Structure 1
Amino acid sequence: MGLLRSILTLFLVVIVVLTGIFVGIQVGGAIYSSPPSLPQLDPNVYWGPGKYKEDDITIKPYQIAISKEDVKDLKMRLNLPLRLQPSVEGTAFTYGFNSGTLEKVIEYWRKEYDWEKRETHLNSYPHFKTEIEGLNIHFMRAKPIVESGKQIKVVPLLLIHGWPGSFVEFYDIIPKLIEPQEGSDVVFEVICPSIPGYGFSDAPAKKGVGTLEAGQIFLKLMNRLGFNQFYLQGGDWGSLIATDMATMYPDNILGVHLNMFQANTPGVNAKWFLGNFLPSGLFMDPKDEPKMYPMGKKLSFLAAESGYMHIQATKPDTIGAALDQSPVSLGVYILEKFSTWTHKDNTQKPDGGLLQEEFPIALDAMLDNICIYWFTGSITSSTRFYAENFNEKFFQGRELDIIPCNVPSGHAAFPEELMVQPKTFIAHKFYDIVTYTDMEVGGHFPAMERPLLLAADLHKFVSLVEKRKILDQSKEKLNEL
């Protein structure tokens, strides 16, 4: 009898605790009392080599011009005999890059890929550099094309890439952003910078440049270009930088649009855990539950796909040094991510989907991206960005994660993204969700995979925000009368 009473008591305690958490989540939106204050960043920090010196604020035109010697060196290294072990029968891409597929990719890179032509393509939009906080920051700028007399508003847009991407991600989507689109009242003036340590942006010489610090650099860049208010769009690291900027600088950010997004608050984590055991429909629409469950399967997939993250967050210079010795090594490391992150089922295909006609990204475009890493020698500094973000502060809990983002937000949920949260989850972080779109197709690189879908969703989001601004201004004028 005593044992039964203890069991019943324990059961009631669990029910009370779960009920309390549930009520706290549903009513308060989180299980903490009030968010902390915004972190303070040093506005005069210096990330360059040596001692502090004043920035040269000149904006200088820049052209991608890789020397003939560097191109010749790349071809020489590509032509070295491959040292490959035969893949285990039946493993496809589940063990990583299939050696037979790699032979075909390298053969194409050796004989058919033409860097000189691709370099001309990459210079089709103007490039610039300017010094910010001791670093030369590279950016690409695409101005809108609007016929005179058309009632189209031009708005500035900061477009931010991730890893293992670069500014190369955006060549297919930019035409759909700078030209008027049906049903949209806006066009964009696009500013696309390279994250510090990526591509043609200088690598920090000192520790400490994470997403927050990159956000401050990009705010200074936009202000220097004359944009005190602007929109943001990003995925991968670009999503985290954009979210931090929208949280930190609400007076400067008109709206933030993300194709990868996650709220990391106590309320969200409690919902995710409890939703695995409690009845369907308590925390989200049942149609959204496949985004998060079964939890074990989701966590297993993330564990299988995040090994790179652990080594880059702990020993970036080790993996960077290895990859920097051979374009084949660099290529296989990056291309494997394009395979799996584009569609989860690609691990079951012998070529990872990369060589199939229906693969949504052209091989030339992926090789362009790899060549940018190779010619700039930036793979090591790009992986250091993981070490700067996944440090002791991250594991102690990032205070910025539980500070609400109050600027208008738009979210494009692509089904093959590594992790997609439902609207009820991200509402714990984003307090003014204007659009949340469940896309029919697409993965982690939508600007390359599905540029039409991503551009259309961005146009829809910004058009709605701009219309709302006009309505709010009209209401203010009426109130003044």
Structure 2
Amino acid sequence: MVNRKFEEPPLPPLDPNPWWGPGEPKEDKVDVTEFKINVPEKDLKDLKDRLALPLRLTPALEGTNFTYGFNSETLSKIVSYWTKKYDWRKREAQLNKYPQYKTQIEGLTIHYLRASAGEDTSGGGDTKKRGVKIVPLLLVHGWPGSVVEFYKILPLLTTTPREGSSSGVVFEVICPSIPGYGFSQASSKPGLGSLQTAQIFLKLMKRLGFDQFYAQGGDWGALIVTDMATLFPHNVLGVHINMAAGNTPAGNLKMVLGSVLPSGLLVAETDQHHLYPLSSFYSRLMLETGYAHIQATKPDTIGAVLDQNPVALATYILEKFSTWTHRDNPHKPDGGLLSETFPFTMDSLLDNICLYWFTGSITTSVRFYAENMNKDFYNRPINNNVCRVPSGLSMFPQDLVVIPESIAKHKFSDMVTYRLHEYGGHFAAMECPEQLAADVHEFVTLVENRH
């Protein structure tokens, strides 16, 4: 008897023209309008007034550092910096560095920034004059991030790499905000998950004149662009991701069998420590994913709490930037956040938090977990659908999950590149922009050379 669990099902059906906006369906306004971040002065004053309130902090247990969560002493120092040194207006000007736009799709106003292919910073001149091909790239963020994650990597994608690189491409980058994140309107109706977002972003790219393009993402962005490549292989020329889940029946079976069979038989010996013992693998997931259970079941409750107080919001988000950047950070008194070697500046971290705060989007962003991590998430049919477009993976050892190439291939049948880096964590575009950009350049160049 054939085990139908491993049969490839038909692609999941999608309503081609849903309406996620309030009320009854209407005709979308298809015009694209320019947008600039300009937080009203009254909102900025409100933030300052809230930050000026006395902190109610519970002293940490002796010697626990960040293992019980955010350390109160560290939080006090961060709030002091936020209040006395952080300059939103200065940062706002930096965030407006790239042109930003809005357009309506399926009843929602979708925000995106556009970074155009520009001058070669290595001094080689105009990329067009050097015979370098300009290709479109959709770049998608995750949670608790935003388009702020990409400001360090965009200059590396929109120019040719330094001398010595074999890259023959440079990118025209479109960075949309996921619906309900930042300046993208949230759905007024339940059911908008990664598959539906993939369709919205496909319509966005087509509206901008890109019927075919490359796509890259991490966290939710990785799932969105993977679903997009699986659903719309004729539009996605290639998909590159960091943080691959590898959640396929065959891959999961191989992972389990690899824990009892001789080392190297199913999973390469060099990859064993990323998965085994499985007790350690799953215990880390249990330790670091409690937030996901809350957000997947009661998003509006935790959202309401975080939306009342900017200090609470910062605590919740910054703890993820600490723990997901390096696994040793919970054992440090400041979670690594205040260390000179921490890969993110405090200003960049607060930029991201302010984006959530000023747009009031924390509740709508965590609803994305409820729409995706429901009872069908781990058994959703598209997990059995192979992604056949050319694929590239960048794995960073301190990320929440590191999936070996042999397991990832069950989802990505045309694996062009796979690279496990020596260092780096979950927020790769912010922490390791040079490495990630180089991987994307290499991947797309190899795919383009096939043509």
TM surpasses 0.5: yes
CA distance in structure 2 between the aligned counterparts of 1:446 and 1:429, rounded to whole angstroms: 22
**Mapped contact 2:391–2:412 kept (Cα < 8 A):** yes
Choose 1 or 2 for highest CA Rg: 1
Q: What corresponds to 1:404 in structure 2? A: 386
**Mapped contact 2:110–2:184 kept (Cα < 8 A):** yes
1:112 aligns with 2:88: no
1:124-149 alpha-carbon deviations (Å, 9 max, x no partner) = 00000000000000000010014152
Give the direction of change, closer, same or farther, for the CA distance of 1:340–1:384 in structure 2 (3 Å limit).
same
CA distance in structure 1 between the aligned counterparts of 2:4 and 2:353, rounded to whole angstroms: 44
1:239 aligns with 2:222: yes
**Mapped contact 2:98–2:113 kept (Cα < 8 A):** yes
- The secondary structure found in structure 1 opposite 2:328 is helix
Q: What corresponds to 2:117 in structure 1? A: 144
Measured after TM superposition, the shift of residue 392 of structure 1 is 3.0
Q: What corresponds to 2:329 in structure 1? A: 346
Letter in 2 for 1:274: L
1:367-446 matched pairs, under 5 angstroms: 367-394=350-377, 397-446=379-428
Letter in 2 for 1:204: S
Measured after TM superposition, the shift of residue 34 of structure 1 is 2.6
Structure 2: any 5+ residue segments left out of the alignment? 120-125
Q: What corresponds to 2:122 in structure 1? A: none
Q: What corresponds to 2:28 in structure 1? A: 55
CA distance in structure 2 between the aligned counterparts of 1:392 and 1:205, rounded to whole angstroms: 21
- The secondary structure found in structure 2 opposite 1:401 is helix
1:98-247 matched pairs, under 5 angstroms: 98-146=71-119, 147=126, 148-182=128-162, 183=165, 184-247=167-230
The structure 1 residue matched to 2:339, chosen from 356, 368, 374, is 356
1:99-134 alpha-carbon deviations (Å, 9 max, x no partner) = 000000000000000000000000000000000000
Q: What corresponds to 1:84 in structure 2? A: 57
**Mapped contact 1:31–1:266 kept (Cα < 8 A):** no
Measured after TM superposition, the shift of residue 273 of structure 1 is 1.4
**Mapped contact 1:232–1:242 kept (Cα < 8 A):** yes
CA distance in structure 2 between the aligned counterparts of 1:347 and 1:51, rounded to whole angstroms: 48
Measured after TM superposition, the shift of residue 299 of structure 1 is 0.8
Measured after TM superposition, the shift of residue 438 of structure 1 is 1.1
CA distance in structure 2 between the aligned counterparts of 1:149 and 1:247, rounded to whole angstroms: 35
Answer with 276-285 or 339-348: which moved more: 276-285
The structure 1 residue matched to 2:317, chosen from 310, 334, 337, is 334
- Give aligned-pair identity as a percent: 59
**Mapped contact 1:31–1:267 kept (Cα < 8 A):** no
Q: What corresponds to 1:312 in structure 2? A: 295
CA distance in structure 2 between the aligned counterparts of 1:271 and 1:242, rounded to whole angstroms: 24
Measured after TM superposition, the shift of residue 264 of structure 1 is 1.4
Letter in 2 for 1:455: A
Q: What corresponds to 1:11 in structure 2? A: none
CA distance in structure 1 between the aligned counterparts of 2:433 and 2:7, rounded to whole angstroms: 39
**Mapped contact 2:6–2:384 kept (Cα < 8 A):** no
CA distance in structure 1 between the aligned counterparts of 2:288 and 2:160, rounded to whole angstroms: 38
TM-score of the two chains, using structure 2 as the length reference? 0.96
- The secondary structure found in structure 1 opposite 2:16 is coil
1:27-38 matched pairs, under 5 angstroms: 32-38=5-11
TM-score of the two chains, using structure 1 as the length reference? 0.90
Letter in 2 for 1:170: F
Measured after TM superposition, the shift of residue 432 of structure 1 is 0.2
Measured after TM superposition, the shift of residue 393 of structure 1 is 2.6
CA distance in structure 2 between the aligned counterparts of 1:322 and 1:175, rounded to whole angstroms: 37
Measured after TM superposition, the shift of residue 269 of structure 1 is 1.4
Structure 1: any 5+ residue segments left out of the alignment? 1-19, 25-29, 470-481
Bigger helix fraction: 1
